[in-house]
Structure 1
């Protein structure tokens, strides 16, 4: 009996000029996006889904062009909203949210809520897909597969970063394949 396996690449966007949805890639980020195009050559990618934020779409556009694939956008891949209020100590709140996935600040979403919306995309993506997202959501998704991947893992993420998520009926693994 053949073992069915699904591989999805989780990509954190390249360096950007800011955090706003319309923030574009920096010059360095544009060069990094070309590097992503080179990385994905020969990987057998058949599907690309990105956060609709400009920096995410721009990060994968060169790869999509090279692969001859469209970039589908999905709002479920946008960055997690920690809070809509100004939080001078936001880093402390973020750290606590990794140990309490139900922690929810005013106007924000809990880690569990954010992870669930991202997991919906991940579960429905065909094998050999690329999903382009943002650091906090990426860390929450990785934490789902590897519970030890938490706040320190989030802090160690690079722009860009790529993790391969591989799973079968009985096994799930994540592996950093580029940073």
Structure 2
């Protein structure tokens, strides 16, 4: 039985230090409408999202189309890079991808964040076998999960993601059998 997960990296958001409540920007809202257009014909059965507002807002347009509410899954939230702002984000993110066990003060290493995401993935695959599931999440978390399944999804892949972005991962039981990108910027 094939299960399809549609990982949706959230659309552009208005920066604020409040990670949980940071909303989509105007551009992000427009792109979220495009996400809805792309996914509305995919026969989505289940909507799941990180608790972060920007991830919820990116997939919420599907609620009226598929007639279901979004299930919030804490473990699909973005990885915590550090408990304090870091001066050089690019250097900080590169460091955790270079050494999967390294973490900045108060943050999550790739190992810890990946384990959290994979645990959530396994729960979804078990609970919703044979369904089409859209998951609103974040770039690092999405790629860490994808990297666990296939090492070609790495830091270089993460740097090339769009915001938003959509990847369809198809599973036969719990075995990844196909990955397709559905997002098209135009």
Aligned residue in 2 for 1:21? 20
After the TM superposition, which parts of structure 1 deviate over 6 Å for at least 4 consecutive aligned residues? none
Aligned residue in 1 for 2:158? 154
Q: How does the TM-score come out when normalised to structure 1?
A: 0.90
1:12 aligns with 2:16: no
C-alpha displacement at 1:111, in angstroms? Answer: 0.8
Alignment of 1:48-127 (within 5 A): 48-125=47-124, 126=128, 127=131
CA RMSD in angstroms, aligned pairs only: 1.6
1:139 aligns with 2:151: no
Q: Distance in 2 between matches of 1:153 and 1:29?
A: 21
Segments of structure 2 that go 5 or more residues without pairing to the other structure are none
Q: How does the TM-score come out when normalised to structure 2?
A: 0.87
Aligned residue in 1 for 2:39? 40
Aligned residue in 2 for 1:166? 170
Matched positions, count? 176
Q: Distance in 1 between matches of 2:76 and 2:133?
A: 14
1:176 aligns with 2:181: yes
Segments of structure 1 that go 5 or more residues without pairing to the other structure are none
Contact 2:169-2:176 within 8 A present in 1 as well: no
C-alpha displacement at 1:173, in angstroms? Answer: 3.0
